[in-house]
Amino acid sequence: MGHDEAVTPERLRDPSAAVPATAKVLIVDDETALASVIGSYFTRDGYDVSFAHDGPAAVELARQVRPDLVLLDLMLPGFDGIEVCRQVRGFSDAYILMLTARGDDVDKVVGLSVGADDYVVKPASPRELLARAAAMLRRPRALPGRAGGEPAEEPARELGDLRLDPLARTVTVGGRPVELTRTEFDLLAVLTARPRAAFSRRQLIDEVWGSDWFGDEHLVDVHIGHLRRKLGDDPAAPRYIRTVRGVGYGLAATTP
């Protein structure tokens, strides 16, 4: 991680971006001094902060504290951030924000493919990390686009052999459960809410990540690719998710 010496905790405060005092953040970085600096900013903004400095400790602490957000560096002793992400995804739907080396597209793609929700390129200032964290934690836990805290009663959506239950947050294909991350589920929920619509990347980002999200919009492509793989969908002959040339994505007209 990196930090901006000119940025102070007071300058980072933004009442409109406040998070509940109970929001838990796990910061995973082997640079202990730097992690402590970043943690102090998060603490001042009302987060409950924990630290881990190697791969095995990160997984164990994630089990213990059940964080809402994991800020995860890729380069760690023990095992790397990719393996941490893979293992944490086995028991947690916490948001995972990965820190990657500048221009290392392979790490970004692999990180997202094993369940990370977003990435930040290092060095990242506390201002950017706090903004990304706040944007993630403001995302609704229920169906995207719903106002308020409690999800509305809504029947399951059945499109051929694809079934999505917005309230239970479950997906099945041909009766077989499909395990999705929160981000993958939210993307599919947006698409199935309007099965005839074609969505641009920006529209999907606004619905799933929030209108205040900033970064590389091709993040959507990676998550869609991972979602297709889990659904057993072939992009060359899509049964569920189609690519709309010049626009983005929508449900396939041939959904079985």
Inform me whether the pLDDT recorded for 232 exceeds 60.
Answer: yes
d(CA 74, CA 51): 15
Q: Which domains does the chain have, with CATH numbers?
A: 9-137 (3.40.50.2300), 157-251 (1.10.10.10)
Give residue-wise pLDDT tens across range 66-93: 999 999 998 899 999 999 998 998 888 8
Neighbours of 222 (CB within 10 A): 19
Residue keyed to tokens 């991680």: 1
Sorted by sequence, the CB contacts under 8 Å of residue 92 that are 6+ apart come out as 62, 63, 66, 67
Percent of residues, the chain, with pLDDT higher than 90:
43
Residue 190 one-letter amino acid: V
- Phi-psi group of 175: left, alpha or beta (phi > 0 → left; psi -120 to 50 → alpha; rest → beta): left
Residue 55 one-letter amino acid: G
CB neighbour class for 4 (10 Å; exposed up to 12, middle 13-18, buried from 19): middle
How is the beta sheet containing 24-28 ordered, strand by strand?
Answer: 48-52, 24-28, 69-73, 95-100, 118-121
Summary mean pLDDT of the chain: 81
pLDDT at 109: 67
Give residue-wise pLDDT tens across range 203-221: 999 888 877 777 778 889 8
d(CA 256, CA 246): 25
Average pLDDT over every residue of 88-102: 85
